[in-house]
Structure 1
Amino acid sequence: MNDRFFTFNGRSSKDFNLLIQNDFEIEAGDADVSYTSVPGRNLDIVNPNNRYKNGTITYECFIDIRWFNDSFYKDLSELRRDLVAWLAVEENFSGYSKLQDNLDENYYYLARLSKAPTMSFISSKCASITLEFNVGPVKYRLDSDLYQEISNNNQLYNPEPLSSYPIIKITGTGSLNLKINGISYKITEIHDLTYINCEKRRIYDDKSLKNNIGVFPNYQYPILKPGENNISWDNSNADVSIKFNWRTFI
């Protein structure tokens, strides 16, 4: 076995003795644009849709059931059944799961299986398997995936080239004016715990959605731009923690 592996949905390819044979190659998604041709004009008009398409990560694997205990799998079809159960779990029909490859160990991807695994039998005991994942256009730093408590009147540094959409956790009581890079975002009432999810554009606590307590300029949620970001708030009884979600293109 080699040391190459990936994890998805909380399990590792090593659990299934998958021997990954191809290089770590990613097909990045293009910018999502359309074009309009105008008679008499040489250049088409570019119509940007302000988004990037998903990309693809493919694993070409080899498997041999003789690598398992004799009582584990009777044949390759049983192994394929468990692979499908692992990779195409029910919640993936509406969303994505984290995918991490140990050759890119500082980042994770949001991915879902593109189609059922393709298995080519070499013998009754071994086969090649192709696993193709549909992945989002950006990848996220693992060291920014946990909440970090920050101090008031602080400066945060985004090390990636893209703005991030953080999740801000506020504990305390009363109201709060959160200022990020000179822009004020007001929370009219805090009851012990409030979350601001800047990517999903939601404000909530442990029980319910509370978008009505946010007063944001032009209804825009906070972002953390590349480089330095200044943050402060006016409620001395409140504590703020942030899941930064630093990200870059795949």
Structure 2
Amino acid sequence: MITGKFTWAGKSSDDFKMKMLSQPTFSSPEKDETANSVPGRNGSVFVPNNRMNDISASFSFHAMIVSDFYSTIRRIKNWLLAPDGYQPMIWDGAADLTYYVHLSGASLSFQQLSLTRVLITISATIYPVAYYTNSLNEVSVTNNQVVTNNGLFIAKPKIRLVGSGNAEFAFGASHLVVKNVTDQITVDTLDGTVYDSENNPVYNELVTSTYIDLPTLAVGDNIVTLPDGWTCYMMMRFGEFA
């Protein structure tokens, strides 16, 4: 049964006694492309810019007032607005997908309807790719294992490599070269970041690959090659159009 419940930043809308008033309507991601006119040729020539634009969507909720109106909306504001950037959101209408959503202070409005209820309107900015929820769990990957990207796009995984010294890894057609690792590093291709085991940024110190060359997983099969003495854990991030 679809109730409109969603999770955001580690908490559920149920924690705030919120109920979605109607199922949301999503538009589709817009491809970022340039239309060129060519003399003597009908129509246009479309040149892709290899990216998609965000999606905008609005959601309306009723929430039960706990204690009083102002303390209720403070709790909800602090929950929704504290995180920066995109945050993962799962709603029970499509629990197999995880959307990455951004909210700002301008995204929220509150109207007291009665002594017990408040109307909440949320305008969200949604990342154009929705990830398969089951591909966001970290899993162990062994040497020569075939990783199959069953999504629609080249995946930008989060990879944790445990080992020491210098090493070269292959993830399908992608390669990663690291140096002077003491115990482990975490490579996040989506964010373009590399961290050590203490969460210190170590991109320049430990990785010889450039940002655009951080590992990706092509659609279809990818063979992972690990050097001796290293173990690998991956969050795959397979997805489709949001």
Normalising by the smaller structure, the TM-score range is 0.7 to 0.9
CA distance in 1, matches of 2:89, 2:177: 35
Counterpart residue type for residue 145 of structure 1: L
- The answer on 1:140 being equivalent to 2:131 is yes
Q: Is the CA contact 1:84–1:116 (under 8 Å) kept in the aligned structure 2?
A: no
Q: Is the CA contact 2:29–2:128 (under 8 Å) kept in the aligned structure 1?
A: yes
Structure 2 unmatched ranges of 5 or more = none
Match of 2:89 in 1: 99
- The answer on 1:249 being equivalent to 2:223 is no
Q: Deviations over 1:51-72 (max 9, x none)?
A: 111113322222343xxxxxx3
CA distance in 1, matches of 2:173, 2:3: 48
Following superposition of structure 1 onto structure 2, how do residues 115-194 of structure 1 map, counting pairs within 5 Å? Answer: 115-194=106-185
Q: Secondary structure at the match of 1:29?
A: coil
CA distance in 2, matches of 1:64, 1:184: 52
Counterpart residue type for residue 136 of structure 1: Y
Following superposition of structure 1 onto structure 2, how do residues 200-239 of structure 1 map, counting pairs within 5 Å? Answer: 200-205=191-196, 206=198, 207-216=200-209, 220-233=213-226, 235-239=227-231
Aligned residue pair count: 238
Q: TM-score, normalised by structure 1?
A: 0.82
Which structure has the greater CA radius of gyration?
A: 1
Q: TM-score, normalised by structure 2?
A: 0.85
Counterpart residue type for residue 232 of structure 1: T
CA distance in 1, matches of 2:95, 2:231: 31
What is the identity percentage for the equivalent residue pairs of Structure 1 and Structure 2? 21
CA distance in 2, matches of 1:87, 1:196: 28
Deviation at 1:73, TM superposition (A): 1.9
Q: Secondary structure at the match of 1:26?
A: coil
Match of 1:3 in 2: 3
Match of 2:78 in 1: 85
**Distance 1:12-1:182 versus aligned 2 partners, 3 A rule:** closer
Q: Deviations over 1:76-110 (max 9, x none)?
A: 34322322222122x42xx1222110121122111
Q: Secondary structure at the match of 2:77?
A: helix
Q: CA RMSD in A?
A: 2.6
CA distance in 2, matches of 1:19, 1:157: 38
Deviation at 1:123, TM superposition (A): 3.5
Match of 2:55 in 1: 55
Q: Secondary structure at the match of 2:183?
A: strand
Q: Secondary structure at the match of 2:33?
A: strand
